[in-house]
Amino acid sequence: MNLKTWAPLIIAIALGLVAAKLARDVVSRVPANAQASVAGVSVVVMKQDVSAGQEIKPEFVQLAKLATEQAPEHSFTETAQVVGRVTQAQLLKGQALLDGLLAAPGSVSGLQSLVPDGMRAITIEVSESSGVAGLLVPGCHVDVLATITEGQNQAVTKTVVQNIKVTAVGQKMSKLPSLLGGAEESKELSRTVTLLATPKDAELLDLLATTGHPRLVLRGWGDEHSAVSTGTSMSDIRGEDKIVKPNLQATPPIAQTPVKQAIAEVSKARMVSVIRGGVETKVALPDVPETAMTSTDLRSAIK
């Protein structure tokens, strides 16, 4: 046997065994929790899009592997933990399912699972114009205007309710397409809108729907500001409130001096021409009816 031929091979095998031993020792010293992090954990994710108020069925969810540090809090590790629960918001395919997105265990599906404690869902009729041309979608926020008649039969438009959530448009409670067999949704304009209101606001909305024609005004996304307004009437459109009328009764009479008073008396008199000896003279007669003036009064004025 040629030692020079086999020596490099023997050295390579020895070095390989040493490297394997070192790697095994390093792996054995890694904590168990670190190994679990490298391996990842299984969490429940959505297998398809699901709208709000839907009951989760087994075919809606699946398990997905995530690194431990990427797994969100309050997630589920088994599909059996979520089957039968009702969603409180629309969920998208691939989204991890969290406990805060589901109604309490035992809740039934439908609109009632989306109504928080202390709130009410009320439906009002709308037209194409009063319902923002049919562009409302579940989840948006609106203000409610109403035109009422006040004193002297003057019409006034006021903002009655502000920042109220649209829970459903027609029978649609989600912006997602219908899950019923993939059938195409109706393109017909919805004639009703369901709003989420406090009990007091629900009373106002019902009164407006009975006595007037409420109009919905769409708010921008994230706009939570409340506007302060006393309403708008025809007087505001005509600008009558902007015209300042002088208070004549409050203006004190201007005291007249003797000279101004004499001028005023002369201005009230009637001027006549008297010709005596070929000379014409202007004479001021008192401003009295001619029938009441005697010849004596006339001679006294001429003198």
Q: Per-residue pLDDT tens for 234-258?
A: 777 777 654 444 554 555 555 555 6
CA distances from 155 to 203, 205, 261 (A): 22, 19, 51
Query: With 80 as the cut, is the pLDDT of residue 31 above it?
Result: no
Fold of 37-112: Type Iii Antifreeze Protein Isoform Hplc 12 (3.90.1210)
Neighbours of 172 (CB within 10 A): 17
Q: Which segment, 27-41, 124-138, 280-294, is predicted with the most confidence on average?
A: 124-138
Closest CA to 215 of 120, 121, 129: 129
pLDDT confidence of residue 199:
92
Among 143, 138, 133, smallest CA distance to 189 is for 133
- Quote the pLDDT of residue 108: 79
Looking at the DSSP assignment, which residues form a beta bridge with residue 61?
46
pLDDT at residue 35 tops 80 = no
Q: Do residues 149 and 233 make contact, with C-beta atoms less than 8 angstroms apart?
A: no
Higher pLDDT, residue 178 or 53: 53
Mean pLDDT value across residues 20-45: 68
* Most confident residue range from 25-34, 41-50, 168-177, 291-300: 41-50
Mean pLDDT of 3-19: 72
Q: Helix, strand, coil % (nearest 5) of the chain? A: 35, 25, 40
Q: What is the pLDDT of residue 59?
A: 92
Inform me whether the pLDDT recorded for 154 exceeds 80. no
Distance CA 11, CA 161 (A): 87
Buried b / exposed e across 272-288, counting CB within 10 Å, b at 16+? eeeeeeeeeeeeeeeee
Section 259-272 average pLDDT: 57
CB 90 within 8 Å of CB 52? yes
Ranges of each domain in the chain = 3-30, 37-112, 115-242, 258-302
Query: Residue 281 pLDDT more than 60?
Result: yes
216 has a pLDDT exceeding 70: yes
**Residues 58/63/64/65 CA torsion (nearest 10 deg):** 180
pLDDT confidence of residue 149: 77
* Mean predicted lDDT score pLDDT of the chain: 75
- Give the model's pLDDT for residue 289: 55
Cβ atoms 88, 149 nearer than 8 A: no
Please give the average per-residue pLDDT across 107-128, as a whole number.
85
Choose from 146-150, 262-266, 293-297 the range with maximum mean pLDDT.
146-150
CB atoms within 10 A of CB 255: 7
The residue that leads in pLDDT, 268 or 209, is 209
Integer Cα distance of 272 and 293 in angstroms: 14
**3-class SS at 296?**
helix
pLDDT at 257: 55
Residue 64: is its pLDDT beyond 50?
Answer: yes
What is the pLDDT confidence band of residue 285, given thresholds at 50, 70 and 90?
low
Supply the pLDDT for residue 179: 44
Residue 267 tokens read as 């201005």
What is the C-alpha separation between 58 and 49, in angstroms, rounded? 13
Greatest mean pLDDT among 2-6, 99-103, 247-251? 99-103
Higher pLDDT, 302 or 87: 87
The pLDDT assigned to 135 comes to 83
Residue 55's closest CA among 8, 113, 13? 113
Stretch 101-115: mean pLDDT, rounded? 82
Distance CA 122, CA 194 (A): 5
